C-alpha cells in the first residue's frame, strides 16, 4: 500500500526553529523541569537502548516512506584516525599586472576560483589552490602583479609575490606574448635569478601562429625556452604542465607535515575592514595578507596553514561582504561567490565583528550565512583593546538585541593589531568543532525526549495532542535530528525541544538541524 502524500509529510525545523528571531515564541512550561539531567543520569545505557528498541519496533504500526529506512539504519561507528603526510610541492605563478596569471590559474585548476576582471590589480594576495596533472598533486599559488619601485598597496602586493617565490618549489613566470618583454619583466627576471628556483617562462595570450614573432624574442631573457600558451582558450597548457611537474620535487620543501585528510578548515568572514587580514597576519606571524586602510583589499580567499594551540589549522581569509549578493557587481560579485564557496568548504566559521561600530544588519546577515551553510561558529570581537566602558555598555545591549539567536556560539574578544587574546581562539574552535561532530546515541536521545515530554507534554490543539513516536540522529557536521511524530509540533514547542537539547548535551558552537516526519497509523485491512 502506498501512503498518500498527506501521510508522509516531513517538516524541516533545523536552523529556522532555533535561529530565526521572527519565529513564534518558544513554549514556556508553567514550572521548568530542573531535574531532567538527574533523571537521565539514573537511566543506564542498557535501559535507554531497550526503550529505544521498543519505540523503534512500534514504528512498524505506522506508514513509513522508503526514505525513512536510510534515516533509521545509520552507522554510529567512530571516524578513523587520519595519519600525517608530507605536503605536496608548491608552484608559484608570478608576473607583472594584467598578463593573465589568474586566468592561467583557473585553466590549470579547471575552475573559476581565482577572481578575474579585465582591469589590472584584481589579485593582491598570494592565493593557494589544490591542483593535479597526470596523477601529480601540487599546490598552485596565484600572486598579485609584481612591479618595480612600487609604493603603498602595490608595494605590499609585490612583496607578497616575492614571498610566494621564496616558499615555492618551482615558478611559472608569465609575460604578455603579444607585447614581448618589458622593463618590468626584465626586473622580474633579475629577482628570480636571486631566488635560484626552477623557472618556466610562459608567453600568454598567444592565440594564433602570427603571434609567435614576439615569443621568439623572449629567449633573450635567458630563462630558456618560452612556452606559448593561451590561458583563455587552453592551448599550450598541456606542454607547460608536463614541464612543470618534472621540475617539481616529490614533496614541498617548506610544507612540513599535514593530516592526510587536511587540517581543520577555518573561514574568516565579516564586513570589509573589520580586521580579518590583520588577524590572519598576526596568527601567521608574518605579513601573509595585504592589509590596507582601504576597505575591500582582499578579493580572493587566502589560505594559510597556522600553528595554533599545538595544532595545525587551515585558515581562509575571505573578501569582506559589504552588501547583498544581488546588489554586488563585477569582481565584488565573484569575490562574494568565492566567500560562500570558502564557507562551504570550511568546517568552522569565525565571524569577525568590530567593536568600534554598532552591530549592523550586514553583520547579522553574514552570521546567518555562516549558520545556513551548516558550519560550526565562533564570533570574534576585534579591536577590543580600543573599547571604553561606554561602548562596552552599548555593545552588550546590541548583542542581546541582535545576536540572541546565536547565543550558543563561543565568543572571543581579540585585538588583531596586537595579538591580544589570540590564544583564546584555539579552545573556542575546538569546542565548536567538537559540538559540530557530536553524536547522541539513539537510546540516550529517546530517553531524553521521553523524560522531557512526560514532564511537559505538548499542548492539546483542536482536541488532539501530537506525540513523538521515535527520534534518531542520522548525521553530524552539523548534528541533524529526525523526530517521527503523529502530528505537527507547534513551532514554539520545537524551539523548546531544541533549547533543552542544547542544554542537556552541550552543542556549544554548532547549529542544530531538527526535522519532523509526520506518520499515520496503518489502516487495518
Mapping DSSP onto H, E and C, the string for 262-318 reads CCEEEEEECCCCCCHHHHHHHHHCCCCCCCCCCCCCCCCCEEEEEEECCEEEEEEEC
Q: Is the CB of residue 156 less than 8 Å from the CB of residue 281?
A: no
Mean pLDDT of 251-269: 76
List pLDDT tens digits, range 312-338.
Answer: 898 887 766 655 544 444 455 655 666
Which CATH architecture group holds 90-115+123-247? 3-Layer(aba) Sandwich (3.40)
Q: Is the CB of residue 318 less than 8 Å from the CB of residue 269?
A: yes
Q: Is the CB of residue 433 less than 8 Å from the CB of residue 473?
A: no
Residue labelled with grid coordinates 565548536: 432
The answer to whether residue 381 scores a pLDDT higher than 60 is yes
Mean per-residue pLDDT of the chain? 82
Task: Compute CA distances 374 → 52, 303, 325, 498, whole Å.
Answer: 28, 20, 19, 16
Mean pLDDT of 176-205: 92
In this prediction, residue 397 carries a pLDDT of: 95
List pLDDT tens digits, range 74-83.
Answer: 655 444 445 5
- Reported confidence tier of residue 159, pLDDT bands at 50, 70, 90: confident
- Among 187-191, 195-199, 276-280, 435-439, name the one with the lowest average pLDDT: 276-280
The answer to whether residue 299 scores a pLDDT higher than 90 is no
| Top-ranked range on mean pLDDT: pick from 11-25, 65-79, 296-310 | 65-79
Residue labelled with grid coordinates 552588501: 323
Known binding-site residues for GTP equal: 95-102, 142-146, 204-207, 270-277, 317-321, 382-385
Task: List, in sequence order, every residue forming a beta bridge with 62; answer none if it has no partner.
Answer: 521
Dig out the grid coordinates for 311 from the structure: 595544532
- Residue intervals of the chain classified under CATH 3.40.50.300 are 90-115+123-247, 265-432
Dig out the grid coordinates for 56 from the structure: 523503534
- CB neighbours of 30 closer than 8 A, spacing ≥ 6? none
In this prediction, residue 412 carries a pLDDT of: 97
Instruction: Specify the fold of 27-76+441-524.
Output: GMP Synthetase; Chain A, domain 3 (3.30.300)
**DSSP output for 17-51:** HHH-TTSPPPP--SS----HHHHHHHS-HHHHHHH
In this prediction, residue 212 carries a pLDDT of: 84
Dig out the grid coordinates for 345 from the structure: 568548504
List pLDDT tens digits, range 23-52.
Answer: 568 888 877 777 888 888 899 999 999 999
- 82 CB-contact burial (10 Å; exposed 0-12 / middle 13-18 / buried 19+): exposed
In this prediction, residue 353 carries a pLDDT of: 94
Question: How many whole angstroms separate alpha carbon 143 and alpha carbon 130?
Answer: 15
**Predicted structure pTM score:** 0.66
- Among 2-6, 428-432, 474-478, name the one with the lowest average pLDDT: 2-6
Mean pLDDT of 474-489: 94
Any idea what the Cα angle at residue 100 is, between residues 99 and 106, rounded to 5°? 165
The answer to whether residue 278 scores a pLDDT higher than 60 is yes
List pLDDT tens digits, range 106-146.
Answer: 999 887 665 544 433 434 456 778 888 988 889 998 887 77
In this prediction, residue 145 carries a pLDDT of: 78
- Among 105-114, 231-240, 378-387, name the one with the lowest average pLDDT: 105-114
Which CATH architecture group holds 265-432? 3-Layer(aba) Sandwich (3.40)
The answer to whether residue 393 scores a pLDDT higher than 90 is yes
List pLDDT tens digits, range 423-456.
Answer: 999 999 999 999 999 999 999 999 999 999 999 9
What share of the chain in percent tops pLDDT 70? 79
Output 445 or 278, whichever has higher pLDDT: 445
In this prediction, residue 2 carries a pLDDT of: 41
- Residue intervals of the chain classified under CATH 3.30.300.20 are 27-76+441-524
In this prediction, residue 325 carries a pLDDT of: 46
The answer to whether residue 390 scores a pLDDT higher than 90 is yes
The answer to whether residue 365 scores a pLDDT higher than 60 is yes
- Reported confidence tier of residue 379, pLDDT bands at 50, 70, 90: very high
In this prediction, residue 285 carries a pLDDT of: 77
| Top-ranked range on mean pLDDT: pick from 85-94, 255-264, 290-299, 488-497 | 488-497
Known binding-site residues equal: 95-102, 142-146, 204-207, 270-277, 317-321, 382-385
Amino acid at each position: 500500500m502506498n501512503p498518500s502524500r498527506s501521510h508522509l509529510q516531513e517538516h524541516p525545523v533545523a536552523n529556522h526553529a532555533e535561529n530565526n528571531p521572527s519565529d513564534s515564541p518558544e513554549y514556556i512550561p508553567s514550572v521548568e523541569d530542573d531535574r531532567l539531567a538527574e533523571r537521565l543520569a539514573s537511566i543506564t545505557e542498557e535501559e535507554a537502548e531497550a526503550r529505544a528498541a521498543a519505540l523503534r519496533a512500534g514504528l512498524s504500526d505506522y506508514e513509513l516512506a522508503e526514505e525513512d529506512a536510510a534515516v533509521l539504519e545509520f552507522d554510529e561507528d567512530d571516524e578513523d584516525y587520519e595519519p600525517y603526510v608530507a605536503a605536496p610541492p608548491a608552484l608559484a605563478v608570478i608576473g607583472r599586472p594584467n598578463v593573465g596569471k589568474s586566468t592561467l590559474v583557473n585553466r590549470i585548476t579547471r575552475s573559476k576560483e581565482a577572481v578575474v576582471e579585465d582591469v589590472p590589480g584584481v589579485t593582491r594576495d598570494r592565493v593557494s589552490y589544490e591542483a593535479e596533472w597526470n596523477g601529480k598533486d601540487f599546490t598552485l599559488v596565484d600572486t598579485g602583479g609584481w612591479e618595480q619601485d612600487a609604493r603603498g598597496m602595490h608595494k605590499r602586493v609585490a612583496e607578497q609575490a616575492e614571498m610566494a617565490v621564496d616558499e615555492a618549489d618551482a615558478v611559472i613566470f608569465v609575460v604578455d606574448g603579444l607585447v614581448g618583454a618589458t622593463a618590468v619583466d626584465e626586473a622580474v627576471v633579475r629577482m628570480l635569478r636571486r631566488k635560484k628556483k626552477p623557472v618556466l617562462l610562459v608567453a600568454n595570450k598567444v592565440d594564433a601562429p602570427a603571434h609567435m614573432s614576439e615569443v621568439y624574442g623572449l629567449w633573450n631573457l635567458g630563462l630558456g625556452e618560452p612556452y606559448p600558451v593561451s590561458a583563455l582558450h587552453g592551448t599550450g597548457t598541456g606542454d607547460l604542465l608536463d614541464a612543470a611537474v618534472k621540475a617539481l620535487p616529490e614533496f614541498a620543501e617548506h610544507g612540513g607535515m599535514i593530516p592526510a585528510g587536511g587540517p581543520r578548515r577555518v573561514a574568516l568572514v565579516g564586513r570589509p575592514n573589520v580586521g580579518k587580514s590583520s588577524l590572519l597576519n598576526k596568527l601567521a606571524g608574518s605579513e601573509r595578507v595585504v592589509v590596507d586602510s582601504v576597505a575591500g583589499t582582499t578579493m580572493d580567499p587566502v589560505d594559510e596553514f597556522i600553528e595554533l594551540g599545538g595544532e595545525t589549522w587551515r585558515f581562509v581569509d575571505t573578501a569582506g561582504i559589504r552588501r547583498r549578493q544581488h546588489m554586488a557587481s563585477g569582481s565584488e560579485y565573484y569575490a562574494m561567490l568565492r566567500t560562500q564557496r570558502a564557507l562551504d568548504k570550511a568546517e568552522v566559521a569565525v565571524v569577525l565583528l568590530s567593536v568600534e561600530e554598532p552591530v549592523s544588519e550586514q553583520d547579522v546577515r553574514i552570521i546567518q550565512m555562516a549558520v545556513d551553510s551548516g558550519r560550526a561558529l565562533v564570533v570574534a570581537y576585534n579591536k577590543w583593546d580600543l573599547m571604553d566602558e561606554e561602548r562596552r555598555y552599548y555593545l552588550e545591549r546590541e548583542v542581546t538585541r541582535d545576536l540572541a539567536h546565536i547565543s550558543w556560539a563561543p565568543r572571543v574578544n581579540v585585538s588583531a593589531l596586537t595579538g591580544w587574546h589570540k590564544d583564546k581562539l584555539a579552545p573556542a574552535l575546538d569546542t565548536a568543532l567538537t559540538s559540530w561532530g557530536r553524536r547522541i546515541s539513539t537510546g540516550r536521545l529517546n530517553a531524553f525526549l521521553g523524560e522531557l515530554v512526560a514532564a511537559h507534554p505538548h499542548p492539546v490543539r483542536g482536541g488532539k495532542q501530537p506525540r513523538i513516536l521515535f527520534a534518531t540522529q542520522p548525521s553530524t557536521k552539523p548534528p541533524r535530528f529526525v523526530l517521527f511524530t503523529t502530528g505537527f509540533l507547534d513551532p514554539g514547542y520545537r524551539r523548546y525541544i531544541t533549547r533543552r537539547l542544547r542544554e542537556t548535551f552541550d552543542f556549544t558552537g554548532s547549529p542544530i538541524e531538527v526535522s519532523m516526519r509526520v506518520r499515520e497509523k496503518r489502516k487495518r485491512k
